[in-house]
Chain A
Amino acid sequence: MAVEGTVAPVPATRVRSDRLERIVGQGLALLLSMLIALGLGSILIVGFGENPAEVYSKIFKGSLGTADGLGYVFAIATPLIFSALAVAVCFKGGMFNIGVEGQYIVGMVTAAWAALSLDFLPAVLLVPAIMIAALLGGMAWAAIAGVLKVKTGAHEVVTTIMLNQIAISLLAWAINYPLKFKEAPPGQNVDLRTDLFPDEAFVGDIGQYFGVTPGAHLSWLLFVAIAAAIIVWFLLRRTRLGYEARAVGSSPGTARAGGISIGGTQLRLFLISGALAGMVGMQQLIADKGYLGAAYVTYLGFTGIAVAFLGQNNPIGIIFAAILWGILSRGEVALQIGSEVPREFVIILQGILILSVVITYQVAKRRLLARQLQRAGAAGALEDSAALDESPGPSGPEDAGAEAFAPSDRREG
């Protein structure tokens, strides 16, 4: 069964089939994990004394049954795509940016400032100017964590959590002092907020072309988000920076020996991540509300982590993951009407979904690796690749020497 002799010249069809297998395998894994999640969800629904089929059909009809529902789904997905991309970019470089939350909050402050102070610009210039201000705001906030990590070794998880808190205070200060409304809005007990942005600051609604109610606030930002995902995909897969990022992320020692600067790569990734995070707040600022107030939408940065996991940190996967997230979130609204199942059920379902995706993907990845090893023809590769070994990590028997000679390293691991 093992292949003797060289198999070096590889026909193009076989190369394609390897890639096809990877894609089909991942697709099947995703499908399977959704079925598992729905199955586990059914048990819960039965626990509430309801019929799973009915509850699920309510959720999916609520989000997919009408043009309006779909409009809401995509509007919910828009900021989540940016947020998940921001998480994924850092993740590929081996970092966990928990600070997307703070970065988009700062991005909203700088964007609001731009919208109010550049109000003399025509729409065609003002909208891009607001977005650039948001990008720069997010980038600046991310740069703090990035520089701290590269220069002092401070862990990004710790610094970004703290920076998130500071960002919240920064926003509160901004709407209390420099950006506070000059003319109080009509009505009593109004929240603290900025003045309304000029009409030119609004990004165009696209719901009208699909028969979606303006209330969904479906805007051109959706296409900006999809474009961002494609750009991030290109960046990671087709550019030097992406290549270096992935090398640093999966094997820093090898990357260093290959002449790659780890700190430089990570700092650049943090800046890109921050820029993407800056775009998260655009949907609510210039597609929806038209002002920045104390009652802004929170937790988009953290939800982005979940969506990134769901999309397996793949930029294209993230688009679909964000839409799926939108479907469930929108379905939550439908669930409130005429059902004993509490709306929190959707949140549980989202959680189960992430867990089952993460687990099924790992299983699928191992199986795929085992299949490739099998075809690599060397039974040997099997034993020393640790694919089927109980020990985690890519260490095989042959590594034992290297590891054991450095006992202190081994203990840390």
Chain B
Amino acid sequence: MSSGDGAGGASSPPLVVLEAITKRFPGVLANDAVDLELRPGEVHALIGENGAGKSTLMRVLYGMYPAEEGRIFVRGEEVKIVSPRDAIALGIGMVHQHFVLVDPFTVTENIILGDEQEAVLDMSAAEGRVAELADSYGFQIDPGRPVEELSVGEEQRVEILKALYRGVEILILDEPTAVLTPGETKDLFGNLRKLREAGKSIVFISHKLDEVLEIADRITVLRRGQVVGETRPAETSKPRLAEMMVGRPVLFRLEKPEHEVGGTVLRVTDLAGEGKLNGVSLEVRGGEILGVAGVEGNGQRELAESLIGLRKPASGTVALDGKEITGHSVEDVRNAGVAYIPEDRHEGGLVLDMTIWENAVLGRHDDAEFSGGLGVLFIRKIKELAQRLVETFDVRTRSIEVTASTLSGGNQQKLILARELETDPKLLIAAQPTRGLDVGAIEFVWKEILEQKAAGRAVLLISAELDEIYALSDRIVTLYEGRITGEFPPDAAPEDVGVGMLGGAKREVG
């Protein structure tokens, strides 16, 4: 957690000053008189929960949104930035979460796009310039490769190089690590340190506190559109940052409740299919949380979807309480007592266009309790259910008549949890249950999952976040290329688990 004060001492004059920036959206004050200073050669982390106004503030600086009030100074002069083009001319670049690249084009073609120097392009010269630029900041990239062949981490490098190619001095990165594997994050941080040495000023938007503490020189915390504080990694800690973000203390290590481990609830034997699962065997018992750790893309999605019945495995068996349910339909698996929190809330968990009460009954809408023999829904019964779920799980909403799209991410996840746990399942399959949630919501979800264990249910937790695996699991297995590569006790060293996540090879874990 070495931060270093970097070159950006308090003495150097600020590169950018945002003064009392106020930005409203219809009815919402997204930024409320926000002040911010960026100095040359610093990594400035902008942190806050979803919707705290971090991205909005930076979009104002990048000329994507006009601010209602406030002034912007760049290198001491007041400027008006009304478009990203203006921002780039002033040396301000931004890399968004969603990349804007032309897939069939090469790295170089993408980088020079819109900034071509001559009418007849000299590609090899351009490639030389790009290679030189990449080398100078330690970016590993082949300038001649088409973007469609690149990994997500490499695409991100292209986006950053695109900004640097245009002579950007101030680089804004919007949640850059959200899309990266741990190894890629490490590479990115290496690049950022080089950029900092070269005197660039970097804004690092994030809500991952460990990363912020590792890379930032200064940290500004936003909450509900206002700056609640500015600090330095050396002066603060993860719990203190979390408290600033959320407005109350947050527990990072929850008390794991004790529960007697019962009989085997889920037994998976040699499950294989679609090239992504190559013979997975595991067991989950009642009153136990089994954590499946692994880098994304090693068969996690396929495992969860095969268990719930969304995919038909090519071979192997799945048994619930000793009864085989291999290849059964989702409806049958659910009726057998399996609850499912999908990794994608919007294409798996909720129908965003439908109301909260309609979402509350999904999967149970054909129970005799909620619809009759002729297929007529019992609306009143369903609304009673929805009201009860919203109340017991504290889903913050105005009413159950609004669409699920009006809920924040955390509240959407609460609604899914409420619906899934209402049925008193034997087994809960939780796939990436806290993805994209902020600290407060993560705490809530974790507590609920531990609650299931305390009630004697079996929980299969599939997560790419090692933190989460450690916080909840009673046993840990690692999934690598569709195989279980190791089993670990909950107090195993993270390094050992990391080795399992990479297939057991003796490699350093990022």
Residues of A within 8 A of B (CB): 1-3, 6-10, 14-15, 18-19, 238-241, 243-244, 246-247, 250-259, 261, 367, 369-385, 387-388, 390-391, 394-407, 411
| Residue B409, interface by CB 8 Å | yes
Verify A405–B148 contact, CB threshold 8 A: no
Report, nearest first, the 9 A-B pairs whose CB atoms are least far apart.
Answer: A380-B51, A398-B436, A374-B27, A404-B179, A259-B331, A253-B347, A400-B97, A258-B363, A381-B408
Verify B51–A254 contact, CB threshold 8 A. no
Residues of B within 8 A of A379 (CB): 28-30, 51-53, 224-225
Q: Which of B51, B330, B342, B394 has the most CB of A within 10 A?
A: B51
Question: Does any Cβ of A come within 8 Å of B506's Cβ?
Answer: no
Which B residues form the contact surface with A (CB < 8 A)? 25-30, 49-53, 55-56, 64, 97-98, 103, 148, 151-152, 155, 174-175, 178-179, 224-225, 296-297, 308, 310, 329-331, 334, 340, 342-344, 346-354, 358, 362-363, 365-366, 371, 374-377, 379, 387, 390-391, 394-403, 405-411, 432, 435-438
CB pair B365 A397 closer than 8 Å: no
A251 touches B350 (CB 8 A): yes
Give the complex CA separation of A7 and B400 in angstroms: 11
B224 with A18: CB separation less than 8 A: no
Q: A8-B394, A19-B401, A383-B56 are contacts. A240–B377 as well, Cβ < 8 Å?
A: yes
Determine whether the beta carbon of B436 is less than 8 Å from that of A397: yes
CB pair A370–B25 under 8 Å, yes or no, is yes
A369 in contact with B405 (CB, 8 Å): yes
In this complex, which of A7, A380, A384, A404 has the most chain B Cβ atoms within 10 angstroms of its Cβ?
A380
- Pick from A19, A255, A383, A411: contact of B50, CB below 8 A: A383
Question: With contacts A8-B391, A247-B351, A383-B50 known, what are 5 further pairs, Cβ within 8 A?
Answer: A239-B371, A384-B408, A398-B436, A401-B178, A411-B148
| B58: min CB distance to chain A, Å | 12
Chain A, Cβ-Cβ closest to B378: A238
Cross-chain contact of A404 among B64, B178, B330, B395 (Cβ < 8 A): B178
Closest to A400 in B: B97
Query: When chains A and B are docked, how far (Å) is the Cα of A14 from the Cα of B397?
Result: 12
Q: Is the CB of A400 within 8 A of B375?
A: no
Bound-state Cα–Cα, A247 to B360, Å: 12
- How distant is A180 from chain B, measured CB to nearest CB, in Å? 43
Choice from B26, B98, B362, B375 contacting A247 with Cβ under 8 Å:
B362
Residue of B nearest to A367 (CB): B26
Min Cβ gap B480→A in Å is 15
8 contacts between A and B (CB under 8 A): A240-B375, A240-B377, A257-B340, A379-B30, A380-B50, A394-B352, A397-B174, A407-B152
CA distance A391 to B97 in the complex (A): 11
Query: Which of B49, B347, B407, B435 is most buried by chain A, counting CB atoms within 10 A of its CB?
Result: B347
- The CA-CA distance from A241 to B376 in the complex, in Å, is 9
Return the chain B residue nearest A234 by Cβ: B376
B26 A371 Cβ-Cβ under 8 A:
yes
Contact call B49/A380, Cβ cutoff below 8 A: yes
